[in-house]
Every structure is written in C-alpha cells, then in structure tokens.
Chain A
Amino acid sequence: MKYRFEIIPSLCIGCRTCELACAFSHAKDKKPGRSRIYPLAYAPDKYVPVVCLQCDDPACVKSCMFNALKRNEETGAIDLDEERCVKCMACVAACPFGCAMVDAGHDEIVKCDICKGNPACVQFCPTKALVYNKV
C-alpha cells in the first residue's frame, strides 16, 4: 500500500464541497446524487464524510457474483466495472459500512474509486478533513 486516505471528522464542517467535487469528477450528468462521498450529520452540527473504506477483506467483492468489483492494485481502491455490474444490490446489502451506495435516481451502484489515484474530494476539501498521502 503506497497511499493512505485519511478522514479527520473533527475538521469536517459539512460544507458538501466533497460531494460536488465527486459528482463532477464522476457522473455524466453531474448531479450530487451520484456522489460517492457526503458529509453525514451524526449529531447536530457534527459531520463525518462517509466514503468507501476500501476494506482489506471486502465483503462487497465477496458478494459480487459477476466479478464486477475488483481491487485496483495501482490505486488500492476497489473498482466497480460498470460493464459487468448487473445492479443486483448484493454489495449494497453486504457492505458492513453501507458504503457501496446506490444512486437513487438511476438505480445504479456508485462506488468510490479514489478517482484513479487523484481524489477530487481531497483536492477541494476546504478544511483538509480529507487527506490523501504517500505512506
């Protein structure tokens, strides 16, 4: 593992810049609904940016019958091959953290791929609550 993606909840102000950045860098129609990350308010005015944790032993990969989820050895992320995805929702149900997300409007799985090694959310986070560093 060459890189580490860090989330620092205490710095998150819930501005949703990460959400927009993610949507813009991924989705064809650039709607925030298709974002892979968003600040979740777990208590009044307390936020945590939730995003896929790219687990070491990922339940999503195990649950996928069609080999649509695979570890990208270069970025370390678990990438979703949209050509292979059948949208059966197995990964959504199986992820223990609920981070294989569904784009409600399109019934499509949206899954963080760390922007192929250059995460947009990290670039745009104004408070540096998201950090992507070489280890």
Chain B
Amino acid sequence: MAHITINGKVVKAHEGEMLLAVIKRLGIDVPALCNHEAIEPTGNCRLCMVEITRPEWEGWKKNVTSCLYPVEDGLIVNTHTPELLEIRKTLLDLQLARCPNSELIQKMAEEYGVHETSYIANVEGDNCIMCYACTRICEVLGKSAISAVMRGQKKVIAPPFGEEPVDCIGCLACAQICPTDVIPYEDKDGIRTIWKKKFELVTCKNCGKTIVTRDFADYLIEQRRIPHEYFETCDDCKRLELAKKMGGLITKAAEVAV
C-alpha cells in the first residue's frame, strides 16, 4: 500500500496501479476519452493529465497523463490546476474542430465552456477521435484484425490494405467500445457486415434469433472451451428450457448452489 495526496487529501492506493484508477475511485471528475478498463492505456487523448510533484522535488512539478502514471508512495497529485483546465479545454476544443458533429465531444466540450470550436473546423471526415480503443480491444482478443494505418492527419483505423480483414471474427467489440460510435455494422437476414466483411450469424434452431457470428462462436468454442451445443439455441429459448425443467420439479425446490 502506498499513500498519495490527491487534491490535498491523503489516500491509500496500490503501488503500481495507475493514478487515473485511484482518481476515478475517489469520484473526482477527470475526463478521459481513450481510457477503458478492458484495454491497455496509451495516453492518446491527453485529457486525464494531472500535475504531480514530490516534497523532494523542491517545488518542481510536471504534468503527466494519469492513465499511464503508476502510483508511487509520497506522490502529490493535483487534478484541477488552472493550467490543467486550460489544457483540457484546448484539447476538447481541438477535438471539436476535428469532429464538430460528435455528440459526445460536444457534450464534453460544453462542460469546459466550449460551445463552438475556436479553431478551423474540419467539415468533412467522421467522428473518429483516434483513441485506438478499437485496435486495442482487438489486440486483447489476440486478433489485431484492424490497426491505425498511415500517420498524422491521414491516419485512419483500417484493416490491412483496406481490404476485408482476414483475422476479423465479427465480434463487434471494436464497434461497441468506440466512444463516438463511428464503426458501422449491420445485422440483416442472418448476416452481419462489419469492415465490409460478411459473417454468418449463429441462428437459434428454435426461434431463429441471432446473437453472435459463427466465427466468434467457433473462436469461443476453440479458445475458451465452451461446449458447442450452448450456441445452438438463443438465450430466450434457453431460459424457456430452464423454466420448463425447473417447473417440472414441482415438489422439491430447485437447488442452486451458490
């Protein structure tokens, strides 16, 4: 256990955990766009910057991204200095210039008093804020079917060579994790289309409902040792099945060990 001071209050934290986790736990409002518990932090959005210092630094301070800075005993953290507020405001202002149509960015910028971008707004282009959440979540699956390609302004998230991603299993994690909802997908007639690739959806043999793609189910069966028969019916039908079985046990209570 380490002791750190956040905004004047001494708190306990685990040595090595990231500062942002501690700050969130305390309920302090530090914005972050690229941070998600399920993925490794990268520090793309820079919004979670905080000021740190130590007594032995003799007044020297520095601003660090709290999502990447590990807790050290004795650290003194400030989350809302005027400089940090200015940084966050400018960053959100810049994001708004990039994605003027993103509702999320509009809302966050509004909170920092930016109603309209001060900069030259990008009229074309989508709402991608280049947070890499999608590529990082794909990496967690061990697939890395998409990645950030090109550099600078031309950087886009794309499958290799802009073609159908070979390694994609259509799990939708990328589209779901995207904070600004820019990854389009469609489920129609038993087919899911994402990244221009078409996937067969597993269809419930009783009712025809679809949940996941065949490729994703196969991945779970293979990698996660889930019995393949679990995927034959949908959750609705499986619940009905469960109810029928339990209802059949009229006199004895269905015991469910906890």
Q: Which residues of A contact B (CB under 8 A)?
A: 1, 3-10, 40-43, 46-48, 50, 53-54, 56, 59, 62-63, 65-68, 76-77, 81, 83-90, 92-102, 107, 114, 131
Contacts and interface: CB of A to CB of B under 8 A. Distances in A.
Given A94-B230, A95-B235, A1 B37 contact: no
A40 B243 contact: yes
Contact of B37 (A54, A59, A83, A88): A83
B34 interface: no
Given A68-B38, A84-B38, A90-B220, A76 B238 contact: no
5 contacts: A7-B256, A50-B239, A63-B224, A83-B36, A93-B230
A72 to B, nearest CB: 11
Between A40, A63, A92, the greatest number of chain B beta carbons within 10 A of the residue's beta carbon is seen for: A63
A111 to B, nearest CB: 12
Contacts of B258: 1, 3-5, 54, 76-77, 114
Contacts of A5: 256, 258
A29 B131 CA distance: 29
A93 B251 CA distance: 31
Given A62-B224, A62-B225, A94-B226, A7 B253 contact: yes
A90 B238 contact: no
Contact of B235 (A46, A63, A92, A107): A92
A99 B216 contact: no
Interface of B: 36-38, 137, 140-141, 171-173, 176-177, 202, 211-212, 216-217, 220, 224-227, 230-231, 233-244, 246-247, 249-251, 253-258
Contacts of B216: 88, 90, 93
Contacts of B172: 87-89
List the 3 shortest-distance A-B pairs measured between CB atoms, nearest first. A98-B238, A98-B235, A66-B38
A114 B257 CA distance: 13
Contact of B211 (A10, A62, A92): A92
Contacts of B253: 6-8, 131
Given A63-B220, A86-B176, A10 B242 contact: no
B247 A86 contact: no
Contact of B257 (A1, A85, A97, A102): A1
Nearest to B143: A65
A60 B54 CA distance: 44
A89 B234 CA distance: 12
B226 A66 contact: no
Between B242, B244, B255, the greatest number of chain A beta carbons within 10 A of the residue's beta carbon is seen for: B242
Between A7, A47, A65, the greatest number of chain B beta carbons within 10 A of the residue's beta carbon is seen for: A65
